Structure 1
């Protein structure tokens, strides 16, 4: 039940976009995401050039999401509005068919998780990302979730490359099957 499509999409809203945890998305969430991305990628440093880059990415993402999902045009996107937009623009589609700003977000999210900037999300980076968002009392649960994502090529390189992360992120949003391989992309989900 935790891995239904509805729950996975609600997770994206709650844990990836709704930075202020008020239950809906608005422009402020994406301003905060820009700053967070800049600081995390810079490992504490927040250069003006990097911040400007992330502000552009996140503002573009907000504008695209608002265009796709703010059906009542109130400047706020509820979880239900977001689900409807994802269903309309992502379900059944490959990564290359996703809206451009969403692809930019996915790439920047990969960079934030890839702490050592080696181009691969390893188990340690995955663990770090998971424990920032959720309460987990057993490292084995996180490690099992990570290992369930890996195919033979992933194991050879020691984790998830950007292209593989993009593929899995697309599956996370586009496949309505509760047992899709990408269901653990963000760790062991709760209801």
Structure 2
């Protein structure tokens, strides 16, 4: 099933962290993510101060993930985290937990991701920003599929505001990773997932 917890975690690896698409995570991915996030948030600008901020966030995230996930770090530590190792780390550190209980670096990444999607920096991810984020990762024939996914995320307060606030995005992200139910409210946080 496309929305199963396993597929959602694989999605995070494939589309959010494994920037070089080699099938595993390593420090190189997070170094490149820092540069990408800097440029995206700066809408093309890459100031040294912003880049240093992102390098700190992303390399801290890598170190935390490596500590939580690289279960084969015996004397021959390979410096790589497989999808299965990442799933086990998410199972141990996120499943059944609220956002506030997530590892600190993961929370920093989630906040950074929100800022990158919130293109107009108004504190709300609206439908146009959600669409823009989705079409960068997915092959789609009909925008209605994306719109339906967006509207499925919204509660009454979200509808009144016209989208997702940071706190609501954090709540949904925690459900995306931490709720193993394939029908949880957050299954479409990154669009209509289909593998």
Alignment TM-score, normalising by the size of structure 1: 0.99
Higher relative helix content: 1
Residue 160 of structure 2 is aligned to residue 162 of structure 1: no
| Alpha-carbon distance in structure 2 between the residues aligned to 1:60 and 1:107 | 14
Alignment of 1:34 with 2:34, yes or no, is yes
Query: How far off is 1:72 after superposition?
Result: 1.2
Is 1:68 equivalent to 2:72 in the alignment? no
Question: Counterparts of 2:42 and 2:56 in 1: how far apart (Å)?
Answer: 17
Aligned to 1:189: 193
Is 1:89 the counterpart of 2:93? The answer is yes
Give the deviation of 1:190 after TM superposition: 1.1
Task: Describe the superposition over 1:68-93 as per-residue Cα deviations: whole angstroms up to 9, x where unpaired.
Answer: 00111211011000000000000000
Within 5 A, what are the aligned runs for 1:127-146? 127-146=131-150
CA distance in 1, matches of 2:33, 2:141: 27
Give the Cα–Cα distance (whole angstroms) in 1 for the partners of residues 61 and 84 of structure 2. Answer: 18
Please give the TM-score of this superposition, normalised by the length of structure 2: 0.97
- Count the aligned residue pairs: 191
Distance in 1 between residues matched to 2:123 and 2:162, nearest whole Å: 10
- 2:108 corresponds in structure 1 to 104
Backbone CA RMSD of aligned residues: 0.5
- Match of residue 179 from structure 1: 183
Aligned to 2:49: 49
Structure 1 unaligned regions, length at least 5: none
**Which runs of 5 or more residues in structure 2 are unaligned?**
none
